[in-house]
Amino acid sequence: MSTDDTSSGLAIRSFVRRAGRLTDAQANAVMQHWRTFGLSPDGLLDFDAVFGRRAPRFLEIGFGMGDALLELAAANPGHDYVGVEVHEPGIGRLLRGLSDQQLNNVRVIRGDAADIVRKHIADASLAGVLVFFPDPWPKKRHHKRRLIQSGFTQLLADKLECGGQLHLATDWDDYACQMLSVLGAQPQLCNLAGNGCFARRPDSRPMTKFEIRGVRLGHGVWDLLFERAD
């Protein structure tokens, strides 16, 4: 995922491609199931053609190992989901899970979310965008690499249909505050929890193993729910 540095006009990447070990099972899943669940878009995506139906469409940016996306897709068969990720182990694990659970309402894109959203997602085509626990880039000098910046937030707002929701979550308090400030300044978006407030975690957001472990250790988690309201 890259964001634009408006002061220099250069694209700043908000991720690092980690050389995580791809297990045999994950590698096999990529080879066997990418043709079924993977997308390599060229131009704007036609979601009706991709999924063979018309339904509410949700985009998850940075799905990690895919746990939340699998749970959401299984719980909401009437919704379609597109997950974007750069890390191959997570892609492989999600593909295997989709095959094992016989879920046909998820498609996977490998690559930079900012480029994908900008080039391949039509305006007003999404019922929701999900960004759960993005890389916090905790060092102050790296804050410019954080995904949630004003330019990218504007781009996401453009892709939401009227009434569509942007749902973010983080376990870093200073990033949560930055997110709240950036989203609150976006005129197309309305904070469903009230101005300057964080939201309660909705029951619809699955809790990952990582989050559960953090909560047990006393870590805070902040949810943000904004709606496009033109």
SS3 letters across 25-82: HHHHHHHHHHHHHEECCCCCCCHHHHHCCCCCEEEEECCCCCHHHHHHHHHCCCCEEE
Q: What is the mean pLDDT of the chain?
A: 91
Is 142 or 86 the better-scoring residue by pLDDT?
86
**Cα dihedral sign for 28, 32, 35, 37?**
negative
- Specify the CATH number for the domain of residue 66: 3.40.50.150
Q: Of 182, 165, 172, whose CA–CA distance to 211 is shortest?
A: 172
* 55 class by beta-carbon count within 10 Å (0-12 exposed, 13-18 middle, 19+ buried): middle
- In this prediction, residue 18 carries a pLDDT of 53
- In this prediction, residue 140 carries a pLDDT of 87
Q: What confidence category does residue 5 fall into, taking pLDDT thresholds of 50, 70 and 90?
A: very low
Is 219 or 103 the better-scoring residue by pLDDT?
103
Number of domains in the chain: 1
Is 14 or 184 the better-scoring residue by pLDDT?
184
pLDDT of residue 72 exceeding 50, the answer is: yes
Encode pLDDT of 122-170 as tens digits: 999 999 999 999 999 888 887 898 999 999 999 999 999 999 999 999 9
Q: What confidence category does residue 20 fall into, taking pLDDT thresholds of 50, 70 and 90?
A: low
Residues serving a catalytic function are: 135
Q: What mean pLDDT do residues 208-227 have?
A: 87
Report yes or no: 108 and 94 within 8 Å, Cβ to Cβ: yes
Of 9-18, 149-158, 181-190, 218-227, give the lowest mean pLDDT range.
Answer: 9-18
* 75 class by beta-carbon count within 10 Å (0-12 exposed, 13-18 middle, 19+ buried): exposed
Residue 191's domain comprises: 2-228
* Single pTM value for the model: 0.90
- In this prediction, residue 12 carries a pLDDT of 53
- In this prediction, residue 180 carries a pLDDT of 98
Spatial separation of the C-alpha atoms in residues 147 and 130, rounded to whole Å: 13
Q: What mean pLDDT do residues 3-19 have?
A: 47
Spatial separation of the C-alpha atoms in residues 29 and 166, rounded to whole Å: 30
